[in-house]
Structure 1
C-alpha cells in the first residue's frame, strides 16, 4: 500500500549539542526552568535518560502517564511522543545522546535498556541502587567537564558502565527466560513492524523480509501470542493513530495518509473495526478524558 507524504504531525526536536557533540548532560538542584515546547507533545531525535532524585509532577510517554517518583530513572528512545504537564522543581540529572553516539560505541547497542524490547520507560531504584547511579553520574559529569582528545571515548566507557548497571535492573524488573527460536522470531517480527508499519501493511511482505514463508510466520506468531500476525500490525497502526488523534490537530485525512492509507474513508472503517469507535469520536472522547 503506497504511503503518501504530508507534514510531520508532531514536531521532532533535534539534538542540541554544540558542533559535532553527540552527548550532553545537565544536573539540576531544584531548578524549574523548562523550555515551553517541552510542555507540548513532541518527539525527540535522540535518546533521553533522566535520573530523578526528587521531583513532583507528571509527564506522558506515548499514551501512558507517569507520576514522578524519587530515585527513579525515566528513559526514552527516538520517536516516542513525550509531553510534560508543568514545570516543577527538579533534583537530578538529564542525559541526552544521539543514535550516532550509540553507533560509535558498539557495545551500547547490545544493552537491554537501549534495545528496550519490553518498551519500558521507568526504572524504580532502591536507595543503594540510586547511590550507585549517582556515583556513576558523578564520574560521567567529571569527564564531561574535561574536553580533550580522549573525552568521547571516556564518555562512551562511563556511559557503558552506567547503562550496563541499569540494564541489569531493567532485566530484573522486566524479567523473562532466555528466548526460544519462536520467541526470537516474534521479536524480529515486532521489530520489523515497528520499523515499517507505515509503509508495509501485508504480513507476506514482512515474511519476505524475515526470509520465511508467510504461513510459518503466521503460525508462529499465533502460537506465541494467541493473536494472528496481522493483528499485531493492526494494533501498531491503531496505537500510532491514537497518538496522533490525542496529541495533534492533524486532520483525519492527513493521519490516514501518514499511516499509509490512500483512502481516508477506508482508514475510518479500519479504525472503527479495530478500536470500536470512529477516529473523530475517539479524538473527542479522549480529549475530554485528559483535558
Structure 2
C-alpha cells in the first residue's frame, strides 16, 4: 500500500514540490477545500501525516475497513496509522483542512498525539457539528488561513494552539466515560496492551513480519502472567485479549488484500502466519470468505 508523504501531497494536489519552503511548512499547512489545482483520482492510502478536515456537504468516508456517510457540517480526524479516503456524494461541498506531522507537536506535548481519543486505536474519527459549533470552528480555520499568509514570527505557535482548540471542541463531544484517565491497574495494563498491539501496524512492506500474535506473546512482552493480562483486558473492555488481537489482524488483512498487490502468501507471512493455508483458514473462519474471494469482491 502506498504511503503518501508531505511531498506527495504537494505534488498530487498542486503539481508543485515542497522544496524551498520554510522548515515549519514541511510540518504544517492549512487550506480551503477548493485549493487544489491539479487533482488526481482519489486513492485509498495511508499518509505519513495527520489531517483534520472541516467539511460542509454530503460525503462518503472510507476509513480502515469501514465506510460511512456524513452530512451537514462534520469534523474529521485522520491519522497515519489508518488508511482512508473520502469522496463527495453529489455536488462537492466546501470547508477547510490542515495537515501536520507528529514532529510539529513533539516538543509541545507531554505525551503523544495518539494519546488523544480521536487519534487513539479505535478512536472516533468523525464529529457532526451543530450550527453554533460549526461557526466557531470555521472561524478558527479562517484565523489559521489568515495567519499563514502573515509574517508574524510566532505564527506556528498560534497554529498549534488553533489545532489544539479544535481538538478540544471534539473532546467535549466525547462521552464522559471516554475522557477519564487510567483509573486502576486493569485499565493501565489494558491501555499498554492496546498500544503495543497497535504499534505493530500498519504493515508497510513485505519484509515486515508480525511477532506478537497471541496473548502469551503480549504477556511476555509486558512481563506479566498471561492470566493476569487476560483478566485485566476482559475486565476493562468486556472482550478477551484474543478477540482484540483477532479483530486487529482481520482488519489489517482486509486492508492488505484490498489495497496492495501482494500475493496471499506474502500477506500471510507479513501477518505472522507460517503457512498461507493457516492464514486462509483463519481469515475464512473470521469473515466467511477465503482471502482470494474477499479480494475479488
The TM-score bracket by the shorter chain reads 0.7 to 0.9
Structure 2 equivalent of residue 134 of structure 1: 138
Which SS does the other structure have where 2:33 is aligned? strand
After the TM superposition, which residues 75-154 of structure 1 pair with which residues of structure 2 at under 5 Å, given as runs?
A: 75-85=77-87, 88-106=91-109, 109=112, 112-113=116-117, 115-116=119-120, 118-154=122-158
| Cα distance in 2 for residues equivalent to 1:164 and 1:107 | 16
Q: 1:199 to 1:90 in 2, by over 3 A?
A: farther
TM superposition shift of 1:174: 7.8
Q: CA RMSD for the aligned pairs?
A: 2.7
The CA distance in 2 between the partners of 1:51 and 1:226, in whole Å, is: 34
Q: Please, what TM-score do these two structures have when normalized by structure 2?
A: 0.80
Task: Kindly provide the CA deviation profile for residues 29-82 of structure 1, in whole angstroms up to 9, marking residues without a partner as x.
Answer: 5x7857325x12211111111001x23342311122232422111111112111
> Which stretches in structure 2 are left out of the alignment for 5+ residues?
8-17, 202-209
1:26 is matched with which residue?
Answer: 31
> What is the distance in 1 between the residues matched to 2:140 and 2:244?
39
The 1-side partners of 2:76 and 2:177 are apart by 14
TM-aligned CA distance change 1:230 to 1:277, over 3 Å: same
Q: 1:204 to 1:175 in 2, by over 3 A?
A: closer
What's the CA shift for 1:208? 3.3
Instruction: Provide the C-alpha distance between the structure 1 equivalents of 2:235 and 2:225, rounded to a whole number of angstroms.
Output: 16
Aligned length: 272
**CA distance, structure 1, for counterparts of residue 31 and residue 87 of structure 2:** 21
1:228 equivalent in alignment to 2:228: no
Q: Secondary structure at the match of 1:212?
A: coil
Change (3 A) 1:94 1:252: same
Q: CA deviation at 1:149?
A: 3.2
How far apart are the structure 2 equivalents of 1:55 and 1:223?
41
Q: 1:118 to 1:179 in 2, by over 3 A?
A: farther
Q: Does 1:15 align with 2:17?
A: no
The answer to whether the 8 A contact 1:55-1:91 is kept is: yes
Give the whole-Å Cα distance in 1 for the aligned partners of 2:43 and 2:117: 26
Contact 1:15–1:45 (8 Å) recurs in 2: yes
Partners of 2:259 and 2:106 lie apart in 1 by 31
Alignment of 1:1-291 (within 5 A): 10-16=1-7, 18=21, 20=23, 21=25, 22-28=27-33, 35-37=39-41, 39-52=42-55, 54-85=56-87, 88-106=91-109, 109=112, 112-113=116-117, 115-116=119-120, 118-169=122-173, 171-172=174-175, 175=178, 179-181=182-184, 182-196=186-200, 198-284=210-296, 287=297
Task: Give the Å deviation of 1:113.
Answer: 4.6
Deviations 1:253-283 (A, max 9, x none): 1211222223222211222233333211222
Q: Distance in 2 between matches of 1:55 and 1:205?
A: 46
